[in-house]
Amino acid sequence: MKFSQNALLRISAASCVLVAPLCAGAASIASGPYGATQQGQAVVQYTLSNARGVTMSCISYGGIVTRLEVPDRRGRRADIVLGFGSLADYEKFNGKIHFGGLIGRYANRIANGQFQLDGRSYKLPVNEPPNTLHGGPHGFDEKVWSVVRTFEGAQGAGVQLRYVSPDGENGFPGKLTVDVTYTLTDENELRIDYRAKTDKPTVVNLTNHSYFNLAGEGSGSVEGQLILIAASSYTPTRPDSIPTGEIASVENTPLDLRALTPIGARLRSSFQQMRHARGYDQNWKLNKNNQRDGEPGFAARAYDPSSGRVLNVYTTQPGLQFYTGNGLDGSAIGKSGMAYRQTDGFALETGHFPDSPNHATFPSTELRPGDEYHEVTVWKFGVR
């Protein structure tokens, strides 16, 4: 099942259909308690539902997407994101695994836990020696976010979450106010709006770290599911997953995923970049011509032949980290009672490039007072 990239972009809407007939009523939201953290902070779960049978649940702890139920080609619903059945397990594991969480201040890696901004050096705590990963220890996906508003209506149902990161938290300068809004529409789109403002010059890179299994969470390996990434180049890395600064072509490498390709087809390649990461865990430079007028452009497609489920990803971000759960070792037991292992899920982390603050040629992640960081990612669901 191979298509040219241009053909895939042309048929992105026609290649899949919405997963259920539109029923009466618009998207809606409900909420309920989800326990309390070990520090005694109350956590609330919000469930967004649309008229076509898609539901998404998230919690105020870490903004974590705890469930995402999508019908298959026969209308049977399944939860397609990995996760846990209790807040206690999210607290125990998410500092390492990051299931479904909002990642910041800086998603991905910063070399040697340091960067310079305006001639000043900043030192960050190292949590993946010798580097800082996903903002350092106790990042945004381990914080209790406040709820600014909830809404429902013709435009969809959603929840706006806020976290205020104090100046100096994990070494990052500036008081950073972050707002993330999840919106589920009746067009089977889950839109994620990331916004941030700062009172001092700083660096920002936000993403969501959901792990998908389109056959259903706990169903086993995703190696037979197909992936397409709309990118002709990537950022090669050193053995510690820090970019060298080069932008390299994917041509004639296992990272050429411009046509739908089984995830497992090249997973055990001896290609050096695959050996560094022990599978897929690389950043692709998304093709710019996929974006128009600042609107989210087509970035990736995942397809499960067994269920027919399709996930299309659109984003305003310049990069995409595709990760095959290489760190899952069976120690975490998921919400279905199954032990999670490598390739039981995959992540599609839209964002800026790893270590951008240390590479002047990469798209800038600097944010200054008076400016607003605003990036959008859309997950659109269908069936084939």
| Annotation: binding site for beta-D-galactose | 108-109, 209-211, 281
State the Cα–Cα distance between residues 271 and 265, nearest whole angstrom: 13
Is residue 169 annotated as a catalytic residue, yes or no? no
Backbone phi, psi, residue 132, to 5°: -100, 130
209 annotated active-site? yes
CB atoms within 10 A of CB 294: 9
Is the backbone of residue 357 left (phi > 0), alpha (psi -120 to 50) or beta? alpha
* Active-site residue (options: 209, 352, 359, 375): 209
Structure tokens given for 59: 């919690």
- Of 152, 169, 217, 349, which one is the catalytic site residue? 349
Show which residues are catalytic: 209, 349
